[in-house]
Structure formats: structure tokens, C-alpha cells
Amino acid sequence: MNEQIRRRPDGCRRPLSEAYDTALLDLDGVVYAGGRAIAHAVESLTRARDGGMHLAYVTNNAARTPQAVADQLSGFGLPTGPADVITSAQAVARLISEQVPAGARVLAVGGEGLWVALRERGLEPVRSADDDPAAVVQGFDPTLDWERLAEAAYAVQRGVPWFASNTDLTIPKERGIAPGNGALVEVVRTAAGGSPQVAGKPQPPMHRETVLRTGAQRPLVIGDRLDTDIEGACNGGVDSLLVLTGVTTPAELLAAPPRHRPAYVAEDLRGLLAPQPEVTADDGGFRCGGWRAEAAGDALAVTGEGAPLDGLRALCAAAWTAAGDSSCGAEAGKALERVGR
């Protein structure tokens, strides 16, 4: 991504799987939702991999080990090894190891993935604020109870350095949107005050961990969240593809501030296998496919016909150009209905 403010989605004449050497894939909301693979994900990723693209799975979910994630992906029909999985637990463990003595105790409030990552860095995870920890770290764990959150609060109140694997407020599950690690971090903040050092997306430690472990030369970040995946790509200076299979809605995409604007937009991971159509300026408006969009007063307007996603791309250009370096506040409901979004 260049340093200029993105005014429209990019075009790409080649399939994205050929234009980039490594796909840095978010998991929840992109490859799967809970225990189910998202439609078209397995087939699309298999074709991308068979065409020579390296697949790396980058998740803010610190609960599970890379081996457990790899086993799940392999079970979906995507042969994956633990080295292909990068977690926010690994990123935060490296961040902690750079600030505390080797072998230090760390109060770990999270799942197995966090404990394994800490031990990988030569740190000793403990469960109590009375174990004299050099740091306290929170990572997502769906079995977390009040007592473990209280231990984190006690340690933070005593001035122990506080870290968090990530601060995603929500996580998509089969039955809907559930509280994420960020919601649990807020519980500790309410009791103890202060703010943790955060390693996961969109923060730079996660991007650094990913590059170190994959060796990517021309990576493409693929995600469903503007405030983690896309912002993380922006912070890392790399291009991104937003897929509309997770939490981000078309209306939220149109309102995105510069740091949340992806290079490309697709319905799902099939977009990885296709060229991206160009969005062109047209006498105060923007065209993509058979659609033309413009900002008309306090609203966005669109005319034409064709693929709904092309209409959304044209509307992105109109909205982002009108907004400049802020969030677009133009009313977009009727325009989105017009393009079938």
C-alpha cells in the first residue's frame, strides 16, 4: 500500500493468487465460522495453493495451538502444518520475551495456545498473581472464569506489566457474534485501570511475527474485519483483500476511514482466483463494470446494472473520495439496495 490516501479499490489484471506470493489469511469469518468451513473457502484455497501461492493462516485467536488449528484445517481438506499457522499468542510471547528476563514467570490468563507460545519463548506461565510474575498476559479462552480474570486484575493493580494477545471485541461463531478477547480485556481494565501492550492485529508485532515466520516477499492480507485485518495490512504497508463472509457489512465498508480501506473487495475467497476490475473516474463519478456511482449532496447515488460487487466497488470510490481522510457520512442505504447489497 502506498502512502497516499486510498480513494478507490485497486484493479488487478491477473488473478490475485498469481500477483502475490503469499496469502496471509485470517481464519474466523474468512476460512471458517466456528467449526464450519465457509462456502467456497476450501476449493478456492486449494486452487490457489496448487497454482503456487503459499498459504499462511494468521489468527488473533490465541486459544488454540498452531497444531490444533492445522489439524482443523486439514480436516476441512486443506493439508496444513503447524508452521503454516501464526497466532497472536506467538506474537505476544515474543513481545513479552523482549521485555522480561529469560525464564521469567508470566501470569497467563488464556488457553493452551497462549501457554505453549510462552514456553516456546522460554517463559514460565503461572496462574496466580501471588506467583511473583514479571508480566501478565491475556489471550482468548472460551472457558475463562471470574477467578482467572480477577488474578489478572490483582496483578495489574500491583503494577505488573500487562499484555494482551489481541483486543477484538467480538468473534464470529456458528450461532452468531460472541464476545472476544477485547471484551475480557475490558473487564480487567474496569477493575484495575490502565491499558495493556497489544500484539495482535492490527498492531505491528503481529505483522512482524508473520513476516518472520513466513518469509513472505509480496504478501496479500485477506480478512473480514476492517479494524484488525485491513488496518493491520495498512500498518504493515501491504495490500489487502476484504471478503464479505464475516463481520463487515457493505455499509461499514463505504464509511471506512483511510486506515480501514482495503485494496480489493470480494464476496468470498473465490475473489483470490480472479482479476480485480478497474474502477475508473467518470466526470465527477466512478465506474466499475456496468455501474456508475457518485456522491450527490448528502447521499450516494448509483445507476446502471451488472454484478452487485462491481456496484459496491464503484460506490466505495465515490464514498472514499468524498470523505478524503475521514469517514464517509453520506447516506448509502438506497444506493446499496439499488446494487443488491
State yes or no: pLDDT of 4 exceeds 90: no
174-178, 201-205, 213-217: which range is least confident on average?
174-178
245 CA to centre of own chain: 13
* Strand partners for 12: 276
**b/e per residue 31-65 (b: at least 16 CB within 10 A):** bbbeeebbebbbebbebbbeeebbbbbbbbbbbbb
For residue 255, the model assigns a pLDDT of: 95
287-296, pLDDT tens digit by residue? 999 999 999 8
Which H helix or E strand runs over 233? Answer: helix 231-236
For residue 327, the model assigns a pLDDT of: 86
Instruction: Locate 275 and state its grid cell.
Output: 482479476
Average pLDDT over residues 163-192: 91
Q: Return left, alpha or beta for 122; rule: phi > 0 is left, psi -120 to 50 is alpha, else beta.
A: left
**Termini Cα distance of the chain:** 27
How far apart, in whole angstroms, are the C-alpha atoms of residue 116 and residue 64?
Answer: 9
For residue 2, the model assigns a pLDDT of: 41
Kindly report whether the peptide bond that precedes residue 202 is cis, defined as omega within 30 degrees of 0: yes
Confidence of residue 5 (pLDDT cuts 50, 70, 90): confident
DSSP for 94-153, please give it: HHHHTTS-TT-EEEEES-HHHHHHHHHTT-EEES-GGG--SEEEE---TT--HHHHHHHH
Residue whose C-alpha is closest to residue 12's, from 325, 226, 277: 277
296-306, pLDDT tens digit by residue? 888 999 999 99
* Strand partners for 137: 108, 163
User: Considering the chain, what is the average pLDDT of its residues?
Assistant: 95
Instruction: Locate 126 and state its grid cell.
Output: 503461572
Active site residues: 26, 28
**Cross-sheet strand order for the sheet of 285-288:** 280-282, 285-288, 291-296, 299-304
Which 8-state DSSP code applies to residue 259? G
* Strand partners for 129: none
* Strand partners for 265: 242
DSSP for 181-207, please give it: HHHHHHHHHHHH-S--EE-STTSHHHH
How far apart, in whole angstroms, are the C-alpha atoms of residue 312 and residue 266?
Answer: 10
